[in-house]
Amino acid sequence: MLKKSPKFLLIPFILVLTNCSYVFPVGDNNIDKERETGKLADNFFLEDPDCQNQETERSVGDFSAFVWNSGKVEPESVAIDFEGGLSTKYITSINYGFHQIETCVIKDNEKICDENVVLQSAGKDLKICGAKSYSRNSYEGVAVSTVAGIHKAASFFDSLNSGMYLRKTKVIVLPRVEKQTVDKSNNSVEKTFTADNMAYSPSYMGNPVFIIFPRSQQGIDAGIWKDLNLWELQWGLAHEFGHHIYTKIAKGTSAGDVPLGPRIEEETNPFTDNHDHDHGFHLESSPMATRVNGALNEGFADLFAYYSEGGKDGSIDGIDCFQDSRDLNSFNFADGTPKILDSAAHAQFTSLSKKSTPSDCETPNFAGIHTFGTLIAFGISKIIDASRPEASNQERAKIAVKWIQKVHENDNNAKADAHYAISDLFEVLGPLEESSCNVLSEVFSAYELQLEDAAGC
């Protein structure tokens, strides 16, 4: 028998890698009462079941992780120390087998979800026994590749010597997150699963968590991210780790559950299908201030991923929805639109009216926090490049971290316009020279007048 999940199983909010994620229906449209129109990929398995019941003091050595590199996935030897086969330097535990069902009801043309969540399985801690090469599609293989990416991002952050303490995180691999929508008008049920994405939440049973959603069979069949699982993309894991850093800076603490303000809408549950929401930082000043903060969070995550991967070309080449569009070395989005925060982009983002979403992820939607955040990240990176041409990659990353710290010291996340936060960069950089001022006027043309005094232009 299914049992109702306790309240804390609803993770307060989610910070996802891309708004190009897919919520695939499952099954057969011709079924009268239960309509299922798709499925998750089911080729993942537990490779070492005997290990799960063994006492293991330590599993240390060179593990084989699968990593996207130069347009293809290749095995890469990574040194990892699993204490008790369960935890690492940066990770408390890895969970597999999680399954929850959210039920929504359509009645009188209104969809009501009301946090009606049932926990079928809380999953188990995954144990790794001995350093070896696990299969790419095993739970252990997914876990090792995920841990390798998180460790790389965390180690890079450690190298910045920021003085900040970040808590260890939990990892949930391949959760089965199901939504059942009951239509009272014809007494039918439609099932959907969340797939093809990664996410971060700062609070899950008192711990931060990275969520590695499974592949969908539809995505595989359609050739989406061909020959790539997103957890093999270390840029993506670094992006999620960037949210971990931002949350620490914005909240001033990473201890215990993150206190959240009022929810804006039902979709602030991380295990639902709408990810462009308040990011948990609900600000009483205005809905727009909340959206600006979300865009800053996404922009910083892109910046951190860029620097974590060396600040060079190639880390996301050949990847649908990411190549060019999220690459800070590319001056244009995938469809050729320049990455310029101009008056048109500003107007689209600041309009609070209902907005249509582009039909494909290659077309930028400046109303969304991911795309607007990329505009901010691109502009910030180009100003840093112009003003600090001799700076190392780590030094540039330090500037980005100090900038976000300054933003929240000045409480600019409470102001409903991005130019307040952007102007804090110049408290870190100091006055710009003419060449850097020219870059500023180009990448942030919508805010040129507001920023020139702060930048000394």
Q: Which residue has the higher pLDDT, 236 or 57?
A: 236
What value does the mean pLDDT take over residues 384-408? 96
| CB distance 241 to 199 below 8 Å | no
**pLDDT band at residue 35 under the 50/70/90 scheme:** very low
What value does the mean pLDDT take over residues 357-370? 80
Q: Could you give phi then psi for residue 332, rounded to 5 degrees?
A: -135, 155
Query: Which of 392, 113, 413 shows the shortest CA–CA distance to 384?
Result: 392
What value does the mean pLDDT take over residues 373-377? 96
pLDDT more than 90, % of the chain: 52
Question: Rounded to whole angstroms, how far apart are CA atoms 229 and 136?
Answer: 9
Beta bridge partners of 66: 75
For the chain, which residues make up each domain, given as ranges?
A: 14-267, 283-457
- Count CA atoms within 13 Å of residue 367 on its CB side: 9
Structure tokens at 244: 């971990």
Question: Rounded to whole angstroms, how far apart are CA atoms 427 and 405?
Answer: 11
Beta bridge partners of 40: 216
Above 90 in pLDDT, residue 270? Answer: no
Q: How many angstroms separate the first and last alpha carbons of the chain?
A: 67
Beta bridge partners of 118: 4, 101
* pLDDT digits 0-9 by tens, 247-266: 999 875 333 333 222 222 22
Four-point Cα dihedral 15, 40, 33, 181, nearest 10: 0
Strand 117-125 with 91-107, pairing: antiparallel
* pLDDT digits 0-9 by tens, 282-292: 344 467 888 89
Structure tokens at 102: 């959210």
Q: Which residue has the higher pLDDT, 261 or 414?
A: 414
Beta bridge partners of 211: 172, 199
Residues 6+ apart with CB under 8 A from 361: 18, 19, 20, 320, 321, 325
What value does the mean pLDDT take over residues 295-315? 92
* pLDDT digits 0-9 by tens, 127-172: 998 877 899 999 999 999 999 999 999 999 999 999 999 999 999 9
pLDDT at 4: 29
Q: What is the pTM of this model?
A: 0.87
Above 90 in pLDDT, residue 319? Answer: no
Query: Count of CB atoms within 10 A of residue 431's CB?
Result: 12
Its sign, for the CA torsion 198, 201, 205, 207, is: positive
